[in-house]
Amino acid sequence: MKTKLQVALDFADEKKAFAVAKAVHKHSEIIEAGTPLIKNCGAKTIIKRLKTKSGKSKIFADLKTMDTGYFEADVAIKDGADYVTVLGVADNGTVKGAVDAAGSSRAVVDLIGCKNTQKRIKELMKVGARNFEVHTGIDEQNKGMTPFANLAVASKIKGIKIWVAGGINLETIDQIMKYAPDVVVVGGAITKAKNPGKEAEKIKKRIILGGKK
């Protein structure tokens, strides 16, 4: 299994998003249309336009759906998204709807805010979810929180794929890779760098090494 790099465009500036996508796509298998970007520009516009700037990279629409899971996932997939997110704290029916609309390989359950990672993953596996994102949000990061503890728990569960996000950078990537996640999501460490393309390349090399120096 080869871990993929996903670059998260977690800002609202459309012009900057296209510039970063163009700079990083050679080193990133997935480009994420972050929630602020989708809210500011509209899902249809940003998904379709990002596809033209992202080479062969897949497009991840971070909808963070909390209700009407089938409807929102269906719309985004039809607009060209390769992956969509639904919140793990949402009702089971909402998650099932997103999985039914996007398919179990394209719907990603964002576990941000979930209190018991293991319990919630196993509950949602029963409604068809197979992709889970262990996610420490920015507000949580500002309190000193990291994704490591929940990642350790999730990595032991069989039959699922794990995304991990939350302040990941060159200083933490080796520790992250010890858990062999399927996708590593990096935002500000790349998008705020002076040279996003070069930073993405450096992080991708660390991913390939798998935490081994």
Q: Give per-residue pLDDT as tens, 135-176.
A: 998 899 999 999 999 999 999 999 999 999 999 999 999 999
What separation in angstroms does the CA of 209 have from each of 67, 80, 164, 195? Answer: 39, 32, 17, 22
Q: What's the structural domain count of the chain?
A: 1
| Closest residue by Cα to residue 135 from 99, 82, 176, 78 | 176
Evaluate whether 58 touches 30 at the Cβ level (below 8 Å). Answer: yes
Query: How confident is residue 212, by pLDDT bands cut at 50, 70 and 90?
Result: low
Can you tell me the distance from the alpha carbon of 209 to that of 198, in angstroms, rounded to the nearest whole number?
17
What CATH number has the domain bearing residue 22? 3.20.20.70
- Domain containing 46: what range? 4-209
In this prediction the pTM is: 0.96
